[in-house]
Amino acid sequence: MAREPSRGGARERLAASSARKDPARPSRLRIWLKRRRSLLRPALYGVAGLGAVAVLFLAVRAIDPAGRVRGVTDSFDGLGEGMGLTVQHVILEGRHNTPTDMIRSALGVSRGDPILDVSPEALRRRLETIAWVQRAHVERRLPGTLLIRIEERRPFAIWQHNGRFVIIDREGKVVAADGLDQFGPLPLLVGAGADATGAALYDLLRAERDVHERVQAMVRIHERRWNLRLHNGTDVLLPEGAEGAAIQRLAELQREARLLDRPLAAIDLRLPDRLVLRPTRQAEPAEQPTPQQASRARRG
């Protein structure tokens, strides 16, 4: 005898058949995007067009750096300007001591200039001609921003040469010739060649605090060796090529005998096995008058 199918199974088969026939309802996001597709297409086409113009312009410039198709690139400049590709903002990062008028003059860019006509490499080279600027980076950010990053040289010492005082960095590069007191206390280097070699001697001195804090100036002698001028007027003569060992010896003498605090005209360390001290010249006693001179002075 055949078994009658259950009513629950028939209802499930009917529901499954209906689900296969009815399409899935689209999500709200898909409906929203479909309604606004007509607005999004022009914006996307505009962005793609600006990118294509920029790429084509740069390709023409790369292929023809000498400017043989200058008329074509000028046309692109005009097109870029018409599409709003002009300099509107210049962002400067890393400036501390470099005068802003020097940066402005080196850039030579004004608001409204076609940004596609601005060469980041040319701007970088011009910025690095400024004494304060050690390295520069220039970046175009379309549609209208120039990003400028500079790395400045750090003031290291005051260099005195031929009666002129200037600020130099550790490499001896002159960065400023005025406002010498605005950078705080700096080491004083004196003489020809002191600018290029002073940093190495200064590092040796900093390792010996007892000597370093008493040094007023580091004096280059005939571009071969160094003298240290102390605050009390004593000159310390260092040997050529052996400054480190001499400074260590001087620090030991200071700790043992307070040598640097004595009234000396010079301390000569040029000989490795000998220490030569030159005392300051004492004032000669005044000449005593003879009895006859004293008698005449009383009668007068």
Identify which of 149, 98, 143 has the alpha carbon closest to the alpha carbon of residue 118: 143
CATH of the domain at 44: 3.10.20.310
Identify which of 156, 181, 189, 191 has the alpha carbon closest to the alpha carbon of residue 171: 156
Give the pLDDT confidence of 71-116 residue by residue, as tens digits.
444 444 454 555 579 999 999 999 999 999 999 999 999 999 999 9
Q: Point out the domain boundary residue: 86, 117, 152.
A: 152
Q: What is the pTM of this model?
A: 0.65
Give the pLDDT confidence of 50-61 residue by residue, as tens digits.
555 555 555 545
Round to whole Å and give the CA distance between 194 and 207.
Answer: 19
Q: Which domain holds residue 131?
A: 40-152
Round to whole Å and give the CA distance between 223 and 114.
Answer: 52
Give the pLDDT confidence of 203-262 residue by residue, as tens digits.
999 999 999 999 999 999 999 999 999 999 999 999 999 999 999 999 999 999 999 999
Give the pLDDT confidence of 171-204 residue by residue, as tens digits.
999 999 988 888 889 999 999 999 999 999 999 9
Mean pLDDT of 4-20: 50
Q: Are 126 and 170 in the same domain?
A: no
Q: Are 125 and 162 in the same domain?
A: no
Where are the alpha helices (H) located in 148-259, listed in sequence order? 194-206, 209-212, 243-257
User: What is the model's pLDDT at position 180?
Assistant: 87
